[in-house]
């Protein structure tokens, strides 16, 4: 009888509490994700209006410097993820990532339809996020097995991007961008479901992961639209 009480009484309450905690983490993640868009937009605006160029050297040096700063931010965010400092660092990181959009946005705005392409890329990114986040939330399928394959895909993309610094092949760039969109779209499934299933319980870490997914989808989608749909007339 006592076992039945635990099964249908305390056990049920514990399950409800667990679900509530997971929903709270997911809700906080979405709120912080929305907030992180503001410093990103501010960084991009400042970069465009004041001609930001943090790295004016060779492409390889620029990439190494960018990765060093980005990973430095991510290490610090993870270190302070359980405090307000972690939130502040995350917002600082998103501001930095907004600054790093300057070159791509300047390229696209050089087209007569540049503003439309940016809005299209933003809308496409939002649509991908909406679909993938919904699937991750309602699907009974376990996407946790995707993790190692997606990570390998990111390594391949990184190596191909480095190689294309010297090769300068438009076809390779487009191919990498298409693959990147597919990989980071799948990463949304993986990252959102980790929160839903309780695999990730810190909303700062969850926000960082999903933000990077969206950032990479947006930049690669915008690059494709700029190359294929840009109008110089």
Give residue-wise pLDDT tens across range 6-37.
444 455 555 667 778 888 999 999 999 999 99
Q: Give residues with Cβ within 8 angstroms of 223, minimum separation 6.
A: 104, 173, 177
**Containing H/E element for 92?**
helix 84-99
What pLDDT sits at residue 15? 62
Q: 81: which residues sit within 8 A by CB, 6+ positions away?
A: 202, 204, 205
Q: Beta-carbon neighbour count of residue 210 at 10 Å?
A: 27
Q: Which of 58, 95, 45 has the alpha carbon at shortest distance from 73?
A: 95
Residue 140 has what pLDDT?
87
pLDDT of residue 229: 85
What tokens appear for 9 in the block? 């009484």
Domain boundaries of the chain, sorted by first residue: 2-33+102-229
pTM for this predicted structure: 0.90
Q: What is the pLDDT averaged over residues 82-106?
A: 95
Across the chain, which distance is largest between two alpha carbons, in Å?
80
């Amino acid at each position: 009888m006592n076992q039945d009480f635990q099964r249908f009484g305390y056990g049920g309450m514990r399950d409800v509490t667990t679900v509530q905690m997971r929903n709270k983490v997911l809700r906080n993640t979405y709120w912080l994700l929305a907030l992180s868009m503001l410093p990103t937009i501010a960084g991009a605006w400042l970069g465009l209006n004041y001609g930001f160029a943090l790295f004016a050297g060779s492409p390889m040096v620029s990439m190494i410097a960018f990765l060093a700063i980005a990973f430095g931010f991510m290490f610090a965010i993870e270190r302070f993820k359980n405090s307000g400092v972690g939130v502040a660092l995350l917002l600082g990181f998103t501001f930095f990532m907004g600054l790093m959009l300057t070159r791509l946005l300047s390229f696209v705005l050089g087209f007569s339809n540049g503003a439309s392409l940016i809005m299209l890329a933003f809308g496409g990114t939002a649509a991908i996020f909406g679909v993938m986040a919904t699937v991750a939330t309602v699907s009974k399928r376990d996407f946790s097995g995707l993790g190692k394959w997606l990570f390998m895909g990111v390594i391949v993309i990184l190596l191909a991007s480095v190689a294309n610094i010297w090769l300068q092949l438009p076809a390779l760039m487009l191919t990498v961008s298409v693959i990147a969109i597919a990989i980071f779209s799948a990463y949304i499934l993986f990252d959102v479901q980790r929160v839903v299933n309780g695999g990730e319980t810190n909303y700062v870490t969850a926000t960082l992961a999903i933000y990077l997914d969206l950032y990479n989808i947006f930049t690669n989608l915008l690059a494709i639209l700029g190359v294929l749909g840009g109008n110089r007339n």
